[in-house]
């Protein structure tokens, strides 16, 4: 009988994540394990609200990253630290193998893609603020990545080796994918894609790459429009 049978583990709400409700850290780890799903939800919301092509590009990259993870898992075929019951994940749509960790690979991809995107993007007129935003985003992503990778080990889904390999592979994939994206953009292929009828119907654009509008700029634009309308009435 393995060690997990002595723990009071239950599924986290309607998910497959198993945690110990009597352990606060285990409870928090279950939440952190859901972070990749929340990030994907953010991509969808980002597209629906702004119709930015960048959200689709990143989501496509994450999909490719996930496919590679499953391929590598089925090549290496390394088991997880131990099983929680004979049928755990055996009959699910996900592979039961643990090397490399998909969650860690996801966060590694997210960290490298977003960080490098800010570093290689042209700095705004306010260089200090641009650098501050880049560093802030980097630190936030590092902390979140650390929490997610830790949660996978703490919940006994992966070994330390599996999360480290997954995170490293994700860093590489995110960097390589950003390079591919920039090459495609330099060739004008993204603009060609935006000229498709479906893209025009959805009002898709690539404004994030050209000149992203900050909250301050949007706020000032709002009041400028209001002021302009008031002057016309007078």
Alpha-helix residue ranges (DSSP H) falling in the chain: 24-33, 35-50, 53-76, 102-120, 127-154, 160-186, 189-194, 197-201, 207-210, 215-233
Parts of the chain with a pLDDT under 50: 1-6, 10-14, 85-89, 91-94, 123-128
Backbone angles phi, psi at 79, to 5 degrees: -70, 160
Query: Exposed/middle/buried for 155, CB within 10 Å: 0-12, 13-18, 19+?
Result: buried
| pLDDT for 214 | 64
CB burial of residue 174 (10 Å; 0-12, 13-18, 19+):
buried
The answer to whether residue 19 sits within a structural domain is no
Instruction: Supply the range of the domain harboring residue 183.
Output: 24-232
Question: What pLDDT is attached to residue 13?
Answer: 44
| pLDDT value of position 165 | 92
The answer to the question of residue 189 being in a domain is yes
Distance CA 234, CA 203 (A): 35
- Residue percentage of the chain with pLDDT more than 90: 24
Does residue 57 lie within any of the structural domains?
yes
Q: Is 18 part of a structural domain of the chain?
A: no
What span, in angstroms and rounded, lies between the C-alpha atoms of 27 and 70? 27
- Give domain status of residue 149, yes or no: yes
What does residue 52 show for φ and ψ, rounded to 5 degrees?
Answer: -75, 130
pTM: 0.76
Is 15 a member of any domain? no
| 14 in a structural domain | no
Instruction: Give pLDDT, residue 121.
Output: 62
- Segment 66-83, tens digit of pLDDT: 999 989 988 888 888 865
**What pLDDT was estimated at residue 92?**
46
Question: Number of folded domains in the chain?
Answer: 1
Confidence at residue 86, expressed as pLDDT on a 0 to 100 scale: 47
Cα separations in angstroms, 144 against 101, 136, 177: 15, 12, 21
The answer to whether residue 17 is domain-embedded is: no
pLDDT at residue 125, as a whole number: 41
At 155 the pLDDT is 82
């Amino acid at each position: 009988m393995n060690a997990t049978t002595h723990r009071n583990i239950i599924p986290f709400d309607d998910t497959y994540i198993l945690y110990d409700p009597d352990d606060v850290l285990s409870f928090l780890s279950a939440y952190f394990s859901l972070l990749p799903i929340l990030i994907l939800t953010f991509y969808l919301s980002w597209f629906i609200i702004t119709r930015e092509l960048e959200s689709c590009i990143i989501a496509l990259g994450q999909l490719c990253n996930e496919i590679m993870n499953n391929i590598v898992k089925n090549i290496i075929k390394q088991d997880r630290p131990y099983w929680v019951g004979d049928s755990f994940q055996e009959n699910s749509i996900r592979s039961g193998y643990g090397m490399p960790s998909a969650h860690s690979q996801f966060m590694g991809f997210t960290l490298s893609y977003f960080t490098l995107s800010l570093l290689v993007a042209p700095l705004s007129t306010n260089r200090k603020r641009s650098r501050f935003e880049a560093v802030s985003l980097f630190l936030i992503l590092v902390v979140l990545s650390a929490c997610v990778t830790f949660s996978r080990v703490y919940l006994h889904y992966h070994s330390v080796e599996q999360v480290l390999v997954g995170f490293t592979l994700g860093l590489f994939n995110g960097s390589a994918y950003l390079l591919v994206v920039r090459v495609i953009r330099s060739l004008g292929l993204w603009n060609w894609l935006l000229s498709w009828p479906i893209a025009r119907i959805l009002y898709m654009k690539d404004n994030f790459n050209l000149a992203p509008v900050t909250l301050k700029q949007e706020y000032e634009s709002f009041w400028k429009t209001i002021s302009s309308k008031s002057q016309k009435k007078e």
